[in-house]
Amino acid sequence: MRTFVAINLPAEVREAIYDDTAHLRAATDAVRWVAAASLHATLKFIGELSDVAVDDVRRALEGVASAHAPVSVATTQLGAFPNFRRPRVVWVGMTGEAELRALARDVDASLAPLGVARDARPFQAHLTLGRVKGDLSPANATGLSDAAAVAPPRRTFVVRTIDLMKSELGRGGSRYSVLAAVPLHARGT
Q: Tell which residue, 43, 28, 11, has the closest CA to residue 123.
A: 43
Is 23 an annotated catalytic residue? no
Alpha carbons 41 and 74: distance in angstroms, whole number: 12
Q: What are phi and psi of 14, to 5 degrees?
A: -55, -45
Of 23, 68, 126, 185, catalytic: 126
Alpha carbons 181 and 165: distance in angstroms, whole number: 9
Alpha carbons 164 and 6: distance in angstroms, whole number: 7
Burial of 96 (0-12, 13-18, 19+ CB in 10 A): middle
Alpha carbons 87 and 134: distance in angstroms, whole number: 10
Q: What are phi and psi of 148, to 5 degrees?
A: -70, -20
Is 185 an annotated catalytic residue? no
3-state secondary structure of 89: strand
* 81: Cα within 13 Å, side-chain hemisphere: 14
Strand partners, 8: 40
Of 23, 40, 68, 185, catalytic: 40
Active site residues: 40, 126
